[in-house]
Amino acid sequence: MDMHSFGNWLPKSKAHVNAWIQHLKAHATQNPTVLVTPVQEFKDLVDNDETLKELAERMFSYAGNQKELTPLGTPEVLSFDEFIVLLNAIMTQAPECTEYTDPQTGELNPCGLIGFPINALLDWPMATPAGYTFFSNALVNQQIKKILTYWSTFLESQDSRYVLVTDDLNRTPKVLGWLNPTAQREMVGVACQATSDPALKALPFEHFFQCDPSDKYYGFKSWDDFFTREFVKGVRPIAEGDNIIANACESAPLQVVENVAESAEFWLKGQPYSLQNMMDFDPLAKQFVGGTVYQAFLSALSYHRWNSPVSGTVKKAYIVNGSYYLGNQYQGFGNPDGADDSAPNNSQPFLTAVATRAIIFIESDNPNIGLMCFIAVGMAEVSSCEITVKEGQHLDKGDELGMFHFGGSTHCLVFGPDVKLAFDFHNTEPGLDATNIPVCSRIATVLTND
């Protein structure tokens, strides 16, 4: 599989991504700016720490020496200092919808989203042994969090919504506003992945998503407001029945694992689930030993809110701060099949134990389900998890739990050992090639002895 197509977070064409990076380099060169405070602090942190400085130098030089293993033939970013300059340029940009025609093949790669723009710069350094150590460092992750918080302020401002309406057809790659009819058709297509009805796919954007087409910006106040858009009421019916588990996110199934361990060596090649690490050593983790984990990933072009899979009461809800650009070391350049060219996509089970994540325990009204857990896992810069429910709050199935800001990534549903489930994958097969299952639709049925 071409990993750049995973969840549509990066365009399918690697040349498309490279063209975007080359434009970013040109923009940064032509428009030099003083480093914003958190980026300057990050640079100072690395420059003043001999160990971090050496790791930073090694991860970029090693990636360069491994260039024959990269699909583009050359590393896109040559040094940590160059990365800092490009990172600084991103701080005043919102993710663009781009269209690219490969000059060699003539193939059109429409409506690409550099959904992980910072990640796009770090694909290969992340895959190095030095990169693994660098991005494991607590001080590095603390500073990255500050940088992403700074960037989120821009993405939540009106200044960020220029990307909704601005076309630049003379640029390489071409830029389309997200409300351009072509881009709207792409988003409608993703919303209709689970249907074969051509009439449904022909319906307009406003049929699916809450918006105001009479307004220039369709009523969206910022890039983040657009990206966390809600479905029109009734577009995603809630699966009925006490024994029916509803899909918590508009997402594609990755895998189902039964008999999960309380503690496991999640950093190994097989990336086993480790409940204590996933749940940040919460005492409730013991109740899930021997149970089931369902994991699924979100699409960049779709819906990024979380909805309750069951009716019940919130027992606990909290955020766990973790890593941002750390991938499983066996998915790096040490992998005989080559490094993950859209890291950390191949590291999703591993990320459940180390990445920034939201954890919500729900005591189901149905005693056959009992206590279950929803875990929203951030990947790369998509690590702003917002919980919108409180402990003690009663939820109806389908009620909102929270959301990813600036997109989404991956999530898990965890059930206890006595809960036996029959999963419904809606005509797709779990794995990185899976397509979206509608949020709130049936994802599993609880099997009983009745």
Instruction: Decide if 332 contacts 128 (C-beta within 8 A).
Output: yes
Please give the backbone phi and psi of residue 222, each rounded to the nearest 5 degrees, phi first: -165, 175
DSSP output for 392-444: T-EE-TT-EEEEEESS--EEEEEE-TT-EEEE--TT--SSTT---B-TTSEEE
Residue 364, strand partner residues: 312
**Beta bridge pairs of residue 363:** 313, 371
* Residue 19: predicted pLDDT: 78
Determine the pLDDT at residue 321. 87
Adjacent-strand bridge partners of 405: 384
Identify the segments of the chain with pLDDT beneath 50: 1-11, 69-74, 108, 110-111, 266-269, 328, 330-333, 335-336, 338-346
Predicted pLDDT at 217: 98
> Would you list the DSSP string of 179-190?
TSHHHHHHHHHH
Q: How far apart are CA 36 and CA 443, in angstroms?
A: 45
- Read off the pTM: 0.87
Residue 3: predicted pLDDT: 35
- The whole-number pLDDT of residue 349 equals 62
**Residue 252 corresponds to which amino acid?**
A
Task: Please report the pLDDT score of residue 67 as a whole number.
Answer: 58
The whole-number pLDDT of residue 378 equals 81
Say what the pLDDT of residue 343 is.
Answer: 42
73: region left, alpha or beta (phi > 0 left; psi from -120 to 50 alpha): left
- 173: preceding bond cis by omega (within 30 degrees): yes
Q: Considering only CA atoms, which of 192, 347, 339 is closest in space to residue 254?
A: 347
* pLDDT score at 328: 47
**pLDDT value for 248:** 98
